C-alpha cells in the first residue's frame, strides 16, 4: 500500500449502490492509512452518488459543509407502498390499481414545491426518546416522528411511464427523498416508494468532479490522490469569507483571539483565508469583530 496521507483535504466520492456510508469511511481509512476521516451527508445503502469526505483536520469543517442544499435524481415506483418507503422493505401492492395521467402527476408535484412539512420515514436514524427510529420500527412498533420543515426549490419530471416516475429534486438539508416518494404516491392515491436514488450535487460540489473508489485506489497507489482534493474555497462557496492581509491579524486569529476589523460587511459564520489562498480556519463576525471558531495550526497547502 502507498504511504499514508499526511495532508488534510476534501475528497468528492461517487458512491455505488450497496455499501453504507460508514463502509466507505472504513474503506478510506484503510486505504489512506489515516483514521481521521468523516463524511457529511449520509446516503442509504440503496442510494448512489456524491459524498463529501473530509480527511485529517478538515473533518472540523463538517458543521458548515452539512448545511448545503442537495440535488438528486430519483425513481418512484407507483401503485404500491413499502414499510421502509423504498424497495428494500416489505412491498404492499394496492388492491385497486389505477394509473394517474401526467397532468394529475404534475398537479400533485406542485404541492411539494417550496416550503413543506415532511414526516421522516419510520426507518430512519432519527432518535425518539433516545432510541433510533429504525430500531423501533424493526420491533414492529410505531415511532412517533414529528414533522419537520424542509424546502424543495425545484422538483421536475424527467420521465413518466407508469408505474415509474423519474424526478429531479433540488432541496434543503434534511429532506428525505424516500418520504417525498411516499407522500407523492399517497397524494396520487395509488401509493409510491423509492426504487432508485442518486445524489448529484451538494451545494456547489457536483458529481462530475467525484472519484469512484477504484479511481481513489489508483491515485493512492500512484501517489497523486492529494492532487484530487477539492480546495476549501470551492467546497465552502456558500459560506461568507474573509481574507486576513495583515500578519498581526493572522497571528491573533491563529492563537484563537478575536480580530478587530475596520469593516462589517456581514454578520455570521465565515471562512477565513490567508492571502495565498490557504484556509486559516472558520470564524464568526459580530459587531466588526472576527471571532475564531475553528483554527488550523498550520495552513493547508491547497
- The pLDDT, as a whole number, for residue 301 is 41
Active site residue 44: yes
- Residue 87, C-alpha cell as written in the block: 424497495
- Residue 146, C-alpha cell as written in the block: 414529528
Longest dimension (CA), the chain: 73
- The pLDDT, as a whole number, for residue 139 is 46
The C-alpha atoms of residue 76 and residue 257 are separated, in whole angstroms, by 51
Q: Strand 131-132 and strand 192-202: pairing? A: unpaired
Mean pLDDT for the stretch of residues 81-85? 93
Nearest to 42, CA basis, from 28, 31, 52, 32: 52
Nearest to 203, CA basis, from 96, 36, 64, 85: 64
* pLDDT class of 299 with cuts at 50, 70, 90: very low
Residue 66, pLDDT > 70, answer yes
Catalytic residue among 14, 23, 44, 110: 44
Domain 9-68+204-234 identical in fold to domain 74-195: yes
pLDDT digits (tens, 9 = 90+) for 255-293: 999 998 876 667 899 999 988 888 999 999 988 889 999
- The pLDDT, as a whole number, for residue 247 is 86
Fold of 74-195: Pseudouridine synthase (3.30.2350)
Domain parsing of the chain, residue ranges: 9-68+204-234, 74-195, 240-295
Fold of 9-68+204-234: Pseudouridine synthase (3.30.2350)
pTM of the shown model:
0.89
The C-alpha atoms of residue 241 and residue 261 are separated, in whole angstroms, by 13
CATH architecture for residues 240-295: Roll (2.30)
Residue 173 CB: number of other CB atoms within 10 A?
15
Residue 19, pLDDT > 70, answer yes
Amino acid at each position: 500500500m502507498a504511504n499514508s496521507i499526511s495532508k488534510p483535504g476534501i475528497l468528492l466520492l461517487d458512491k455505488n449502490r450497496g455499501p453504507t456510508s460508514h463502509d466507505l469511511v472504513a474503506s478510506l481509512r484503510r486505504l489512506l492509512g489515516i483514521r481521521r476521516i468523516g463524511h457529511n451527508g449520509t446516503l442509504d445503502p440503496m442510494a448512489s452518488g456524491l459524498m463529501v469526505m473530509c480527511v485529517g483536520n478538515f473533518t472540523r469543517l463538517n458543521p458548515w459543509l452539512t448545511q448545503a442544499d442537495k440535488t438528486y435524481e430519483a425513481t418512484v415506483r407507483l401503485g404500491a407502498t413499502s414499510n421502509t418507503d423504498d424497495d428494500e422493505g416489505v412491498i404492499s401492492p394496492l388492491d385497486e390499481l389505477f394509473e394517474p395521467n401526467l397532468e394529475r402527476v404534475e398537479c400533485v408535484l406542485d404541492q411539494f414545491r417550496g416550503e413543506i412539512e415532511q414526516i421522516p420515514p419510520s426507518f430512519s436514524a432519527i432518535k425518539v426518546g433516545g432510541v433510533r427510529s429504525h430500531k423501533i420500527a424493526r420491533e414492529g412498533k410505531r415511532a412517533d416522528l414529528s414533522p419537520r420543515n424542509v424546502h424543495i426549490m425545484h422538483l421536475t419530471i424527467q420521465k413518466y411511464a407508469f408505474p415509474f416516475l423519474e424526478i429531479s429534486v433540488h432541496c434543503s438539508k434534511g429532506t428525505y427523498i424516500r418520504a417525498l416518494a411516499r407522500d407523492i404516491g399517497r397524494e396520487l392515491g395509488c401509493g409510491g416508494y423509492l426504487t432508485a436514488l442518486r445524489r448529484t450535487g451538494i451545494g456547489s460540489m457536483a458529481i462530475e468532479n467525484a472519484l469512484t473508489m477504484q479511481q481513489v485506489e489508483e491515485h493512492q497507489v500512484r501517489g497523486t490522490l492529494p492532487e484530487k482534493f477539492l480546495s476549501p474555497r470551492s467546497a465552502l462557496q456558500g459560506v461568507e469569507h474573509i481574507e486576513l492581509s495583515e500578519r498581526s491579524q493572522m497571528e491573533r486569529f491563529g492563537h484563537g483571539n478575536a480580530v478587530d476589523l475596520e469593516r462589517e460587511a456581514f454578520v455570521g459564520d465565515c471562512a477565513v483565508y490567508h492571502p495565498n489562498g490557504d484556509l486559516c480556519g472558520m470564524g464568526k463576525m459580530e459587531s466588526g469583530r472576527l471571532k475564531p471558531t475553528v483554527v488550523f495550526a498550520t495552513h493547508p497547502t491547497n
